Structure formats: C-alpha cells, structure tokens
Amino acid sequence: MRSIFIPFLTLLTFNVLMAQEHAHNHGRKIEFPDVPGYHTLKCDFHIHTVFSDGNVWPTIRVEEAVKDGLDAISLTEHIEYQPHKQDIPHPDRNRSYEIVKDLANVYDLMIIHGTEITRDMPPGHSNAIFIKDVNAIKVDDPVEAFREAKRQGAFIFWNHPNWIRQVPDGKAKLTDLHRQLIREKLLDGIEVVNDITYSQEALQIALDNQLTVMGTSDIHGLVDWQFQIPQGGHRPITLVLTEERTPESLREGLEAHRTIAYFNDLLAGYQEPLEMLLKSCLVVGKATYEGASSVVEVQLSNEGDAPLILQNKSPFSFHAHADLVTIPPHDSIKLEVKTGQQLRDFELTFAVLNAVYAPDKHPLLSWNVVVTP
C-alpha cells in the first residue's frame, strides 16, 4: 500500500509546485505600463469586510491588494447594512478603515477612507470616497447623505446601476433623483464594471453626463475565489492616470476622467485616456525585409496585462494572419506584412476590439513602423 501511496503523493506535490511556479511566472500582480506624463495606478474603490456584509477581516483586504499589485484601495462598508452586528457590535462605521489605515505605510499602498451609501433604487447604492467621518453620513434623507459626504470632500460614484435586484432588465437608467444629484454636483462617477458585470448603458450615462468611468470588485468573499486568480483571473479595477503617486493626484485623475475600467480582458474608458494606455501597451519592435522579399517582419509586443485583440485596418494584408491578430499579455508576436514593395516606413492601423470608449466603439490606432535597412 505504502509503495503506491508515496509516488502518488510525490506526484501531487510536484503538480502543486508546478502550478505555483506557473502562477509565479505569469505573475499575479496586475501590471500596466505608465503612459507619457502619467503614472498608471491600479485601484479598487469598492471592497467589503466583516464590518458590513463581507466575510473577512480588514487586514486581509490589504494583503490581497498587495498580492494584486494595487496602488490604492478603499474599504467601503455599507452604512445602513451590517448583518454581522450580533457578532461585531461596533457602532463606529469608520472602524474597518481605522484598523488598516496605518498599514498604508507598511505596504506602500494608498488606503482611501470610504463608505457605501446603501439605499433602495432610486438612488440605489453609491460609494463616497475621500471622506472623513462615515458616522456623520448616516442620515435618513438620501440626498442629505450625499450632501454631507460632499461637505467632507467626497468623490461619489453610483454603484452597480445595472444590478438585477434593483433593475430587473439589467440596464442602467437615470431617474429624476439621479438627474438632481448630477445637477447639484453630488455625483462624480458611475460603475461601468462591478464585480462580474459590464454595463454599456452605464458607459453611455457616463459619457452623456461627464461622469468618471469606474470599475470595482465589490468583493465580499475572497478575491482568489471570486475572480479565479489561481486560473489566471484578475479582480476588476480602475486604472487611474495620475501626475504623482499620491492621494491628491489620484483624486485629480478621477475628477479629470482619466480612468479605464479593466475587467475580463476588457478595457473601457473615455477615448483619450484609453488610447494613451493602449499606445503604451503595444510596442512596435524591429521591422526587416528578408533579401528581395517585400514581406516585412515586424515584432509587436504587449506590455500590459490585458491581451490586445486587434483587427487590421491597414491597406496591407498579412502573410500568416487573417485580419485578426491577438497579442497575449506580456508577450510578443511576429507579424508578416505584405507591403507590395520594400518601403522605408509604413503605417499599421488596428481597431482594438477588446477596448471600448462608447458602447461597441473600439479605438482605432495607428503606428508608424520604420524599417531597419
């Protein structure tokens, strides 16, 4: 019996080690390049712990964020919903932030004080971040709650406007109350991505009302389980393009709409920051002709965590691809372009199909490729 079991266990151990090695090689940390003039900060501003309806202690959220390579997080407990109250009868709604705030120095992670204003629709749920005291926001009238958060200097965004429990057709739509909040400048952003959902209606609402595009995990359990990290998944986040790596600069980037929601390989945001990010992700390497051939070989690299799914919009066709070209994350491909004659330089133009700057609108980007003689 023993002789059968030992090789089995050894094999099992070997497989586990191999799986860890595999995960390590590809990296769990979410990585995107900086763009010219800006840092690309990785942020998750919608997270729960046992101090509302989450299942873990606040410090675990910090450790998860560090593992994911995030730059900033916010623990956003429901103000009005505390199902673990019998076990954790803490009346101070700032408590989860208080527990972790000093870890910001230990881990070089920005921890932004926040909360979730939790109401029926309308207005539904909203996160207020960059606040000072959650307890003061605990008032009956929902508009008054927004006003108090704003008095504290909050940046406020509408959470999961597509939540089926509040909008059964899954389509985000503005109500008169939302229009009032926007008019009073009490609403700054909207979740286009929440947990495992993407809302193109929310993206349109953002564009129509100059709201910031947000993507968040809204994690309640473990990030590893919900987003299948061991299988190569990632939590949804907001990439914010900032001048400095500081809370003040982060705030400025959010208000300037320099954000991209990243979810399930999809990148969604306003056109300009989205194109800046994509331009920095795709790096054109050496281009050469072989002998007298007019088929040029170009090295294309992807420096980001999202694959780049490209559709050819150039006048040239390819020698080994149809019109679709995918560059995996942190990898490169060799593209053979039939330019008809040997050129000194030429344009490559692609639509990036896994990126959207409006519902079903994909950025069209061009690269000037200079041929090495």
Q: Site mask, Zn ion, residues 100-119, x = CB under 5 A?
A: ----------------x---
Least Å from the CB of residue 117 to Zn ion: 9
Least Å from the CB of residue 116 to Zn ion: 5
For residue 35, how many C-alpha atoms fall within 13 Å in the half-sphere facing its CB?
Answer: 23
Task: Classify 311 as helix, strand or coil.
Answer: strand
Nearer to Zn ion, 48 or 362 (CB): 48
37-96 residues near Zn ion, rule: CB under 5 A: none
Residue 159 found at the interface with Zn ion (CB under 5 A)? yes
Gap between the Cα atoms of 349 and 49, Å rounded: 45
Candidates 37-45, 182-190, 213-221, 312-320 — which segment interacts with Zn ion by CB under 5 A? 213-221
Nearer to Zn ion, 44 or 275 (CB): 44
Gap between the Cα atoms of 93 and 325, Å rounded: 50
Least Å from the CB of residue 284 to Zn ion: 41
Nearer to Zn ion, 93 or 125 (CB): 125
Least Å from the CB of residue 75 to Zn ion: 11
Q: Where are the alpha helices (DSSP H) in the chain?
A: 2-26, 58-67, 95-100, 103-107, 142-151, 176-183, 200-209, 223-226, 247-255, 271-281
The answer to whether the CB of 363 falls within 8 A of the CB of 279 is no
Nearer to Zn ion, 64 or 116 (CB): 116
* Binder among 61, 125, 234, 258 for Zn ion (CB under 5 A): 125
- Chain mean position to CA 336: 33
Count of residues interacting with Zn ion (CB under 5 A): 4
The answer to whether the CB of 276 falls within 8 A of the CB of 304 is no
17-36 residues near Zn ion, rule: CB under 5 A: none
Nearer to Zn ion, 218 or 305 (CB): 218
CA angle 106, 109, 112 (to 5 degrees): 120
Least Å from the CB of residue 271 to Zn ion: 28
The answer to whether the CB of 247 falls within 8 A of the CB of 112 is yes
Nearer to Zn ion, 128 or 348 (CB): 128
Gap between the Cα atoms of 196 and 358, Å rounded: 19
What backbone phi and psi angles, to 5 degrees, belong to 207? Answer: -65, -40
Nearer to Zn ion, 159 or 162 (CB): 159
Least Å from the CB of residue 163 to Zn ion: 7
Least Å from the CB of residue 121 to Zn ion: 11
The answer to whether the CB of 215 falls within 8 A of the CB of 238 is yes
Query: What is the binding site for Zn ion (CB under 5 A)?
Result: 116, 125, 159, 218
